Structure 1
């Protein structure tokens, strides 16, 4: 009985590691810590990930937001997170940026270097966008 439980735990652990490894394939950069807030909602912490053309936030417990297509994202003017926001997120020194995606809006809070990477990725020309131009 104990050996069966131990075997099941080992198989589960290997499966989770494989899922995490293969889930990272195609990512432009490693997942980065971030916080997400829909309009009028509370801050939710998670990891932000972007690949070739999609941005997604994976939260704790498997909750997620997105994916959002890069060409439809509009990053607003970034600012430092205020004291109230920093207290709710439980992190200091974050950059907050309002995001518009179609008719919905939300806020992201990231470290400065992660914000810079996100801004550069959003503003870069999407792969294949100009492929037929000679």
Structure 2
């Protein structure tokens, strides 16, 4: 095999891997969303390191998925009535991938404490979802 043919083969394989990776990321994102609201959100679970991900509101659950990685399962999952979000505050340091006006909110659930960083619009939709009553939950309360 000539050196030029070897270089061409390596470039074709590299290009095929790049295209396959892009297609996988796109398909994974489509699968994760499943037609439900999805937002860009970073999480910090105590080590003060932000990890960028996708938050999905699905019925009575909030699921968080890592942006990169092969897993189709959420890295964190919370049930709506177990969530307690604090007041939003300006994000001290910039998180790559989030807008410059992103807000940070401290959250608590039965199993863990964490911080979420997301855009103001995403925070508003998350807060509205959290404060709305799920179907069949306390329906007789006036």
TM category (shorter chain) comes to 0.7 to 0.9
User: Alpha-carbon deviation of 1:65?
Assistant: 2.5
CA RMSD in angstroms, aligned pairs only: 2.7
Query: Is the radius of gyration larger for structure 1 or structure 2?
Result: 2
Matched, 1:73 2:56: no
CA contact 1:26–1:52 (8 Å) conserved in 2: no
Q: 1:103 to 1:61 in 2, by over 3 A?
A: closer
Question: Residue 121 of structure 1 is aligned with which of 129, 137, 140?
Answer: 129
Q: Deviations over 1:46-97 (max 9, x none)?
A: 1111111110111121464321001100001110101xx31xx224210100
Local SS of the residue matching 2:59 = coil
Alignment check: 8 A CA contact 1:53 1:126 kept:
yes
Q: CA deviation at 1:39?
A: 1.6
Change (3 A) 1:58 1:43: same
Aligned pair 1:102/2:98, yes or no? Answer: no
The structure-2 alpha-carbon separation of the partners of 1:94 and 1:26, relative to structure 1 and needing over 3 Å to count, comes to: same
CA–CA distance in structure 1, aligned partners of residues 123 and 138 of structure 2:
26
Provide structure 1 residue ranges, at least 5 long, that are not aligned to the other structure: 1-5
Q: Is the 8 A contact 2:33 2:56 kept in 1?
A: no
1:23 Cα deviation after fit: 4.3
How far off is 1:130 after superposition?
2.8
> In the TM superposition, what is the alpha-carbon distance from 1:26 to its structure 2 partner?
5.9
Alignment of 1:54 with 2:56, yes or no, is: no
| 26, 36, 41: which one aligns with 2:43 | 36
Seen in structure 2, the aligned counterparts of structure 1 residues 26 and 42 have a Cα distance that, compared at 3 Å, is: same
